[in-house]
Structure 1
Amino acid sequence: MEKGRNGIVFALTVLIIFHHCEECTADGEDTLSLGASLGGNQTLISNSVTFALGFFSPNGTSNWYIGIWYAKLAQKTIVWVANRETPAKKRPGVFKLSTQGGLGLFDAEGTSLWSVNMSNKASRAVILDSGNFVVLSGGNKSEIVWQSFDHPFDTWLPGMKIGGKKKLVCWKNSLDPAPGLFSHQMDPSGIRQFVMRWNNSVQYYDSGAWDGKRFTHIPEMSLKGSFLYSVENTTSGFYISFALSPALKVLTRFVVQKYGVFQLYALFDNTTWSVTWSQPRDQCSVYNICGAYGSCTSKNVLSCSCIEGFVPRDNRSWSLQDWSSTGCIRQIPLNCDTRNGSSDGFLVSSVTLPDNQASSYPASTKKDCEKACLHNCSCTAFTFNPPSEPCQIWSGDFPSMRNSSSQSNSDIFIRLAASALVKFDHQRPSSKRKTTVSIVGAVLGVVAALAIALCIYSFFMWRRNRLRSMQMGADSSNSFLRMFSYR
């Protein structure tokens, strides 16, 4: 009973703080003192009015987060989120620095959503002009006992050290700041280079090793006059930070995008961010960017589509460009029985499949290769490209496909249900499809040519007979008239 009463009192206390937070801290200051809270639309503003800290809710959602953004920009550009996996529902909640020195976020019912316990007693928390939110010691007022820069989000700001075990992890999608599938971090193997990884497992980009002045795959770092770099080699790892040249009066930030690209943004006119550098340059080289059975196209704008016979697994996720985590599924399931064979067929496709998922099969003809795939229920595609790779068979779902009609050196045959081939007007399995199309095309061409020749011949015969009849009629009616042909 006593515990229940205490819980009710705590919840009521939080609600009172939430509704009367104007009495707890002054809106617009840069400091959160012991026992003070933020709630509702209240914010902390850095001294030079560069950054703000407070509650925000992505457009179209009812979820609320504590975050940091650029204070002067009309459109919020979020650079850090505290509770990216545990949002407050429907209402902002309360962000508080307790009298005991603990930093925490509570929802309107008093449930803890996010917290930090400092080993040293805190005195206050401050949002700095660098975008770093720091908690200062109660003893040494300038000693930092906790800081947001040690817990990066998806953004690398000037003055922030990244390296060691720190990761930059993208948003899940534009409405959800929860960790996505793509990250930027120091190479776990111990090489002094940054890598980008999918699902914390597959590496698809590296910066090249640090040579003392730059990362070898980033020659732009050798350019003088823009960025100043500082490195630290400690027992916990290799770290690097950057700063802008004093002559530059622009805002910059590096960001891991939700589609797996690491980009540098610059704000030149205080209104619009411009991408000034991006890696990897070929966005379709990002591992599994379009998910299973998705095909990537990257000319001017990155886009994903499902190959024929497949549809998005989750339309809402695709509308938010969250392709990688959802991918595509078959419209019609395959029909395969290891004992009775398969009625499935194949569709010729202009996509590139990952080489590391293929296995070789000793087939001397394309027909034998097709049969081998049909009798293997896990086979989902095959290629036949003699003499180097006569028969290659793929199993399972396909990540990292890309539209490559101009680059493909051989036909790729994607397995589909027979009814799917009929539905999408692919009349026959791939082993006969090309021959059938060629024969039908040749026959239709010959028939069309004969029909045209017959029409021309009939026209000239009709014309000659008509002239003859006119001449005969004219001669019989008037002997003084002489007939001349049009020629």
Structure 2
Amino acid sequence: MGVNNNPWFKLCFLFVCFCFQSHISFAAGKICGNQSISGKQTISSETGEFILGFFTPGNSSKYYVGIWFNIPEQTIVWVANRDKPVFDIYTSDIRISNGNLVLFNESGIMIWSTNLSSTNSSSLEAVLLDEGNLVLRDGPSSSDPLLWQSFDHPTHIWLPGPGAKLGFNKITKKSTRLTSWKTNEDPAPGCFSLELDPNSTSQFFILRDMSNILWTSGPWNGQIFSLVPEMRLNYIFNYSYIDNENESYFQYSLYNNSLKSLLIMDVGGQIQQRTWLQPAKQWNVFWAVPRMQCEMYAYCGAFGICNKESEPLCNCLEGFGPKSVDEWNSRAYSDGCQRKTSLHCGNSSLVNKKSDRFLEIRSIVLPANPRPWAMAVGNAQECESTCLNDCSCTAYAYNGSHCSFWSGELLNLRQLAKDDIDGKTLYVRLAASEFSSSNSNKGMVTGVAVGSSVMLILLGLLLSVILRRTNMRKTGTFFTHTDKHGSFPYFDLSFF
């Protein structure tokens, strides 16, 4: 029997082919019509600067198709299927299908696509370029028509170079924006974004939930954005702002192309310009805004309080806990906190109803949202009773002549130093049962104090007796008792 007909030889041959195929990297950096990527297969840019393939962030069990720097520290710069992960990379694949670059999951369902009109062209190819841009073009030459590029669909990172621009298309009325990851292990769109003002004011905004402005760059003055003076240090970056009848956009490049740099919309709401330090094998934050994270709108989410002097920066108010412990532990605080115990007011399911009470929080910046309503009162007790009788009232503050009341979730709470003159006192509504443990503790402290006082009195009395007896020994003033057994000295407590 020939070697080639040996079944064991065929089995070993197939196993070797499978192992080779599962780790293969297409050096050409292309996905052509007859190719696909699955498992641990990747493609790289011509210089090897960037890689495209399946990845899993951190300790997650979910997989995504993305582009990353070819460096020791995993740095994902673009993600295709941000909010639609796959779970088996060996039965999922990305390939050209019906005129598009398409990702199919383990069930053969299309979960991401370049979403172009269908074409019958057989020369389509997806190419990863050296600047980190994934392009779909009709032909093998760089001069062939460009149908789609990832630079037009950034996720959380903005790379330097031609074609990578953030701006507003005046014809389609669409923005090219950066959107943070939800957490450090979940690339789904988070609540923070960076985009150019669509009202043609030539300034960038950091937005929360696409609406609340957290930061502005100030308008472009021809050289820099007015509120970003650091841009004058342009020995690393070359900036340009373009405004014409079709679009307004901003782009930047590196004077030294051997450097690695990126601008990231971080999960915490900061934008950071980072540069790669090759000797240290780590990213260095070159610039970041807003500089104080506690000054960012609602950084700690609902019922979270930010303290720039604490570690971590965010904590839940007493009586509240994180809505998502995993996200909180990964320092993504935007989901905020929720009550540990439901309020009694307005809760018909509670049989033994007790009145809600108020937790006093001192030296804070009062909530910016929701907007409070106010009323004139004679004293603080009127504030408390008014809020207590309104089940929608979440918190109140008293300034000596007026009450301010809040309903719903409390946002943008910041802890200040005790001696900060800007600090105010807020009273937050909690279920009465939330105070039981603190009352028990107070009772225990009181009991210990009373017990300690009694012990001190007894010890003082005993010490007094000992001292008196010592003095009597020194002066010889002992009493003598005589009976039939003889005479012996004694002292009498009634003497004291």
TM-score by length of 1: 0.80
1:182 to 176, 184, 192: 192
State the Cα deviation string for residues 190-220 of structure 1 (Å, max 9, x = none).
3111101111111111111111110111001
Q: 1:117 to 1:19 in 2, by over 3 A?
A: farther
**Aligned partner letter, 2:242:** E
Output the CA distance in 1 between the equivalents of 2:423 and 2:93: 60
Amino acid corresponding to residue 324 of structure 2 in structure 1: D
State how far apart, in whole Å, the 2-side matches of 1:344 and 1:375 are.
Answer: 10
> 1:161 corresponds to which residue?
165
Please state if 1:78 is matched with 2:76.
yes
Tell me what 1:95 maps to. 94
Partner of 1:5 in structure 2?
Answer: none
Contact 1:62 1:90 in 2 (8 A): no
| Cα deviations by residue, 1:256-295 (Å, 9 ceiling, x for unpaired) | 1111111111111261111121110110122222221111
Distance of aligned partners of 1:193 and 1:180 in 2 relative to their CA distance in 1, 3 Å threshold: same
Gaps of at least 5 residues in structure 2 are 1-16, 169-174, 479-496
Which of 352, 367, 381 is matched with 2:395 structurally? 381
* Alpha-carbon distance in structure 1 between the residues aligned to 2:207 and 2:327: 21
Shift of residue 139, structure 1, vs aligned partner: 9.4
Whether 1:399 and 2:424 are equivalent positions in the alignment is no
Whether 2:263 is the aligned partner of 1:254: answer yes
Are the aligned partners of 1:21 and 1:38 in contact in 2 as well (CA < 8 Å)? Answer: no
- Aligned CA RMSD, in angstroms, stands at 3.4
Bigger CA drift: 203-212 or 118-127? 118-127
Q: Using the TM superposition, give the Cα deviation of residue 79 of structure 1 relative to its aligned residue in structure 2, in angstroms.
A: 0.2
- Residue type of the partner of 2:198? P
- Distance in 1 (alpha carbons) for counterparts of 2:217 and 2:327: 30
Q: C-alpha separation between the residues in 1 aligned to 2:309 and 2:477?
A: 72
Moved more, 236-245 or 209-218: 236-245
Aligned to 1:45: 44
Aligned to 1:417: 431
Q: Measure the CA separation in 2 of the matches of 1:338 and 1:136.
A: 61
CA distance in 1, matches of 2:147, 2:347: 64
Structure 1 stretches lacking a partner, 5+ long: 1-17, 429-436, 475-487
> How many residues of Structure 1 are paired with residues of Structure 2 in the alignment?
435
In 1: Cα distance, 2:191 partner to 2:439 partner = 36
Which residue does 2:102 correspond to in 1? 104
| Change in 2 beyond 3 A, CA 1:48/1:338 | closer
SS in 2 for 1:381: strand
Task: Give the SS at the match of 2:231.
Answer: helix
Q: Measure the CA separation in 2 of the matches of 1:337 and 1:27.
A: 64
Q: Which residue of 2 aligns with 1:312?
A: 322
Code of the residue aligned with 1:251 in structure 2: it is K
1:153-205 Cα deviation digits (max 9, x unpaired): 10010111111111100111122111011111112333111101111111111
Contact 2:238 / 2:254 at 8 angstroms: preserved in 1?
A: yes
Aligned partner (choices 344, 353, 372) of residue 366 of structure 2: 353
Looking at structure 2, the residues matched to 59 and 465 of structure 1 have their Cα atoms a distance apart, in angstroms, of: 76
Contact 2:416–2:423 (8 Å) recurs in 1: no
CA distance in 2, matches of 1:189, 1:304: 34
Alignment match, 2:486: none
What secondary structure does 2:307 align onto?
Answer: strand
Q: Could you say what secondary structure the match of 1:284 adopts?
A: helix
Tell me if the contact between 2:38 and 2:89 (Cα under 8 Å) persists in the aligned partners.
Answer: no
Rounded to whole Å, the distance in 2 between the matches of 1:465 and 1:152 is 90
Secondary structure, counterpart of 1:63 in structure 2 = coil
2:234 aligns to what? 224
Distance 1:413 1:21, change over 3 A: same
Q: Where does 1:135-214 land on structure 2 (aligned, <5 Å)?
A: 135-138=136-139, 141-142=142-143, 143-159=145-161, 160-164=164-168, 165-214=175-224
In the aligned structure 2, how far is the partner of 1:28 from the partner of 1:364? 78
Which residue in the other structure is 2:488 paired with? none
Indicate the percent of aligned positions where both proteins have the same amino acid.
33
Contact 1:28 1:42 in 2 (8 A): no
| C-alpha separation in 1, matches of 2:263 and 2:36 | 31
Residues 338 and 61 of structure 1: CA distance in aligned 2, closer, same or farther (over 3 Å): closer
Contact 1:21 1:39 in 2 (8 A): no
Counterpart pick for 1:215 among 217, 220, 225: 225
**Aligned-residue offset at 1:337:** 4.9
2:34 maps to: 35
1:415 is displaced (CA, Å) by: 1.1
Contact 1:294 1:305 survives alignment (8 Å): yes
- Partner Cα separation in structure 2 for residue 309 and residue 59 of structure 1: 31
SS in 1 for 2:376: coil
Change (3 A) 1:19 1:83: farther
Alpha-carbon distance in 1 for matches of 2:327, 2:423: 33
1:217 alignment partner, SS class: coil
Cα contact 2:125–2:140 (8 A) shared by 1: no
Kindly state the Cα deviation for residue 64 of structure 1 after the two structures are TM-superposed.
1.9
Quote the Cα distance in structure 2 between the aligned partners of 1:150 and 1:209. 23
Do the aligned partners of 1:230 and 1:240 also contact (CA within 8 Å) in 2? Answer: yes
For the residues of structure 2 that align with 1:114 and 1:320, how far apart are their CA atoms?
27
Contact kept in structure 2, 1:347 and 1:426, CA below 8 Å = no
Is residue 21–residue 37 contact of structure 1 (8 Å, CA) maintained in 2?
A: no
Query: In 1, distance between residues paired with 2:424 and 2:31?
Result: 64
Deviations 1:275-329 (A, max 9, x none): 121110110122222221111233486532111111122322322333212x222
For 2:381, what is the secondary structure of its paired residue?
Answer: helix
> Following the alignment from structure 1 to structure 2, what is the Cα–Cα distance between the partners of residues 201 and 302?
27
Structure 1 residue 411 displacement after superposition: 1.9
1:27–1:141 CA distance, 2 compared to 1 (3 A): closer
- Post-superposition offset of 1:361: 1.6
> Would the alpha carbon gap of residues 456 and 300 (structure 1) be closer, same or farther in structure 2, given more than 3 Å must change?
closer
User: How far off is 1:425 after superposition?
Assistant: 3.2
Residue matched to 2:283: 273
Distance 1:27 1:423, change over 3 A: same
Amino acid in structure 2 at the alignment position of 1:134: V
- Matched-pair contact (CA < 8 Å) for 1:421–1:427: no
Kindly tell me: are residues 355 and 400 of structure 1, through their superposed partners in 2, closer, same or farther at Cα, counting changes over 3 Å? closer
What is the CA-CA distance between 1:45 and the residue it aligns to? 0.9
